[in-house]
Structure 1
Amino acid sequence: MKLLTATREGQGDRDGDFCHAVEGELVFAGFVCATDRSDPDGGCGCGRAFSGLNSLRATTTALVRDLELTYDDVRMALSAHLVAAGMGPDVLGAVDFEDMLADEVDQTIRYAQVWEPGSVVGRRLDSVHLRTPAVR
């Protein structure tokens, strides 16, 4: 399955780039604070970054990779991330947590399906865009 992973590729090509995530870890679009929602180029950077599922750290570039993971693998990784980030079912309630988890898994999978493996992508709020096409 094609998924987004943290990468340092393309870092520095744009003002405000950063990569604090672990190279190769799965990432998802993550949540955007109110400050970045009104100006993704200001604030904390969450409006233009992906969140690392293991490190809980962010990067502004992600690499599309074709990985031997299933839907259930992605769901488990995202569930663990949300719990570690303090947004587990004990905080949100079981039903709200399951709804949010299902939405995040679907979005995480959908964002990577558009591009070929090896493509580097970036984020701006709810949009993921191509930064560097895959080399063929």
Structure 2
Amino acid sequence: MKLLVATARTQGRRKNDFHFCVEGELVWIGMVCTADEQDPDGGCGCGRAFGGLDSRRSTTTALVAEVPGFSAGDYVEAIRSSIGHQGWDPSLAEEIAHGQLELIRDWPPGTVVERRLDEFVPRPSREGDRP
């Protein structure tokens, strides 16, 4: 199954990149706080971040990866468990999982993705490349 995982690939392309997740852990696209809701480069960082499901840390880059042995139900449960422990409404897990799967549907494994609020785009593989 194709899913988003944390990656350090292409870190540093933006001066405010960060990578505090465990490399390869599943990530989710979390909510954006009021400090960042108008500016992905705001001080919080949540407007440009993906959240690690296990570490509960964040990264500004995610990788589309083929994760063997995962079903759609497993993915929903992973999200439900993590967001529930983080204090979010776990009943949102199915909607979140579906949205993320739809987002990456047309991107091949190996694509590095960045977030700019509600916009998600592939990052170029090399500096100077266009996505």
Q: Secondary structure at the match of 2:35?
A: helix
Aligned ranges 1:37-56 → 2 under 5 Å:
37-56=37-56
Q: Are positions 1:121 and 2:113 aligned together?
A: yes
TM-score w.r.t. length of structure 1: 0.86
Structure 2 SS opposite 1:63: strand
1:22 Cα deviation from its structure 2 partner: 0.5
Q: Which amino acid aligns with 2:96?
A: E
Root-mean-square deviation (Å): 1.2
Conserved 8 A contact 2:39-2:117: no
Q: Determine helix, strand or coil for the equivalent of 1:3.
A: strand
**SS of 2:107 mapped into structure 1:** coil
Distance across 2 between alignment mates of 1:58 and 1:49: 6
Q: One-letter code of the match for 1:26?
A: L
- Match of 2:102, as an amino acid? R
1:80 maps to a residue whose letter is S
Query: 2: distance between equivalents of 1:125 and 1:70?
Result: 28
1:108 and 2:109 correspond: no
Q: Shift of residue 15 of structure 1?
A: 1.6
The answer on whether the counterparts of 1:40 and 1:48 sit within 8 Å (CA) in structure 2 is: yes
Question: Superposition pairs for residues 1-136 of structure 1, below 5 Å?
Answer: 1-68=1-68, 69-88=70-89, 97-98=90-91, 100-132=92-124
Q: In the TM superposition, what whole-angstrom CA distance separates every residue of 1:51-93 from its partner, at most 9, and x where no partner exists? A: 00111110000111011211111111001111110124xxxxx
Q: Name the structure with the higher helix share.
A: 1
**Structure 1 runs of 4+ off > 6 angstroms?**
none
- Under a length normalisation based on structure 2, what TM-score does the superposition of the two structures give? 0.89
> What amino acid is aligned across from residue 110 of structure 2 in structure 1?
G
* Count of aligned pairs: 124
Segments of 5+ residues of structure 1 without an aligned counterpart are 89-96
**How many Å apart are 1:114 and its aligned residue?**
2.2
Structure 2, unaligned stretches of length 5 or more?
126-131
Contact 2:2–2:66 (Cα < 8 Å) also in 1: yes
Q: Percent identity?
A: 45
